[in-house]
């Protein structure tokens, strides 16, 4: 909430919320997958009530479907929620999207980045949110519990992509919230590099 607030007040353009527990599986009246509180939804609610910030675009690149976030914002036309989870769905109004991911291939990082860009870039540009939010899980890294065959390159590429997308769509305002990922060796490898790209992009 504090990170989102600082962006809304214009104190910073980008912030990284280092949250140890997940959030995107917590819905209106349920929780699961180690998610008790939906951090992104709480931040959105707070910004709407306190700052009148209304439109939000969320890209969820955790390996799993963001069922809690989807539940909370279902039917809310002012939240674009694009979730790269392996399912294939677009809501009638186009603001809720699930994207299939081909597993493996010759270059999983490259194909994942292409899919993320194809799913999010034009949608967020047209949507023009007040704030862009990246729900960043690294559980899709090789050997973690959501293994999608990805490596560091995919996450660094996503960070660069999100900086560029936020610059075009929401005046540079980008909130990154840490999602799933369990291995400390991967966390210490990936997270500092992602923060570095977000800070210098
Ligand atoms: Zn996950
Ligand atoms: Zn999904």
Structural domains of the chain, ranges and CATH numbers in brackets: 2-200 (3.40.800.20)
Residues classed as catalytic: 25
Q: What would the pLDDT profile of 19-40 be if each residue is shown by its tens digit?
A: 877 799 999 999 988 888 999 9
51 C-alpha vs ligand 2 centroid, how far in Å?
A: 29
| Rounded Cα gap, residues 182 and 178, in angstroms | 12
pLDDT, averaged across the chain = 95
**pTM check: above 0.85:** yes
Mean pLDDT, residues 7-30 = 93
Cβ atoms of 127 and 78 closer than 8 Å = no
94 C-alpha vs ligand 2 centroid, how far in Å?
A: 14
66 C-alpha vs ligand 2 centroid, how far in Å?
A: 5
| Rounded Cα gap, residues 151 and 118, in angstroms | 20
Q: What would the pLDDT profile of 80-99 be if each residue is shown by its tens digit?
A: 999 999 999 999 999 999 99
CA-closest candidate to residue 140, choices 67, 65, 80:
65
Count of Cβ atoms closer than 10 Å to residue 69 Cβ: 29
- Go through 34-44 and write b for each residue having 16 or more CB atoms within 10 A of its CB, e for each that does not: ebeebbbbebb
For 192, counting Cβ atoms within 10 Å of its Cβ (0-12 exposed, 13-18 middle, 19+ buried), the class is exposed
Cβ atoms of 105 and 92 closer than 8 Å = no
Count of Cβ atoms closer than 10 Å to residue 137 Cβ: 22
Residue 120 has pLDDT above 80, yes or no: yes
Cβ atoms of 56 and 79 closer than 8 Å = yes
């Amino acid at each position: 909430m504090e990170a989102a607030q600082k962006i809304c007040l214009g104190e910073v353009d980008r912030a990284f919320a280092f949250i140890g527990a997940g959030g995107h599986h917590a819905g209106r009246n349920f929780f699961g997958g180690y998610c008790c509180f939906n951090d992104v939804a709480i931040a959105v609610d707070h910004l709407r009530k306190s700052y009148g910030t209304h439109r939000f675009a969320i890209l969820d690149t955790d390996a799993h479907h963001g069922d809690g976030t989807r539940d909370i914002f279902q039917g809310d036309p002012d939240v674009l929620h694009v979730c790269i989870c392996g399912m294939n769905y677009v809501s009638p109004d186009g603001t809720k999207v699930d994207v299939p991911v081909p597993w493996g291939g010759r270059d999983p990082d490259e194909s994942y980045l292409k899919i993320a860009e194809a799913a999010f870039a034009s949608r967020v540009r047209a949507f023009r949110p007040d704030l862009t939010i990246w729900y960043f899980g690294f559980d899709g890294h090789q050997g973690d519990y959501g293994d999608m065959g990805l490596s560091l390159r995919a996450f660094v590429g996503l960070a660069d992509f999100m900086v560029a997308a936020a610059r075009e769509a929401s005046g540079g305002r980008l909130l990154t919230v840490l999602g799933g990922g369990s291995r400390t060796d991967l966390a210490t490898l990936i997270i500092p590099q992602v923060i570095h790209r977000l800070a210098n992009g």
